[in-house]
Amino acid sequence: MDKPVIIAVAGGSSSGKTTVVNKILKDLETFPIVVLKHDDYYKDQSDMSMEEREAVNYDHPFALDNDLFYEHLLQLISGKSIEKPTYDFVALTRALATEIIKPAKIIVLEGILVLEDDRIRQLADIKLFVEADDDLRFIRRLQRDTKERGRTIESVIHQYLTTVKPMHYAFVKPTKRYADIIIPNDYSHEVAVDLIHSKIISILNK
């Protein structure tokens, strides 16, 4: 099996990474595609109390199991299927359910810190950073966490001010320098998407 095209998509929390990924992949449905969300690789915390889990800094690189993420990526590149973990954002630990992921021609890696680990950067053919206004990102996160993850407004605000915002500037935003393309998600980005499409097709045709 030829090496798949690996696209790493980073950016701040609620910057619109998933939206950008969907636009990029829209006209590539004829190719087998896999999307690996970095969030699914948060470390297992089943041995911790809920109070301890709530105190964890989930926006720090140490919260993620990058060794397993990297190992799984190598297995997919070599043509092997993986048993991917899933994460329960209500219980704040890994879910019991896993997901079998088969190798594909295009592998998308998505997460706020997906460009932070040098091993992962070295495997990526295309590295993207999605950028959005801080206020817009906070509003999106507030809406998502209260509607989808059962969080209170107060807890979302507290987490944003104590960990999300400072970690964004300490670890997430600095990875922008590794990106091949920076996509501002405050307005239309069709030109960037077209460029990425062309690059993907170019790599696939080699």
9: domain CATH number? 3.40.50.300
How far does the chain reach from its first CA to its final CA, in angstroms?
A: 13
pLDDT digits (tens), the chain, 206 positions: 588 999 999 999 888 888 888 888 888 888 899 999 999 999 999 999 999 998 899 999 999 999 999 999 999 999 999 999 999 988 999 999 999 999 999 999 999 999 999 999 999 999 999 998 889 889 988 998 898 888 899 988 998 999 989 999 999 999 999 999 998 876 667 788 888 888 888 888 87
pLDDT at position 88 is 94
pLDDT at position 15 is 87
Q: Is residue 206 part of a domain?
A: no
Paired sense of beta strands 181-184 and 106-110, if any? unpaired
Using CA atoms, how far apart are residues 59 and 113, in angstroms rounded to an integer? 8
Give the number of domains in the chain: 1
Domain hosting residue 16, numbered range: 5-199
Q: Is residue 64 part of a domain?
A: yes
Question: Of all helices (H) and strands (E), which one includes residue 83?
Answer: strand 82-88
Q: Is residue 156 part of a domain?
A: yes
Using CA atoms, how far apart are residues 201 and 206, in angstroms rounded to an integer? 9
Q: Is residue 205 part of a domain?
A: no
pLDDT at position 188 is 64
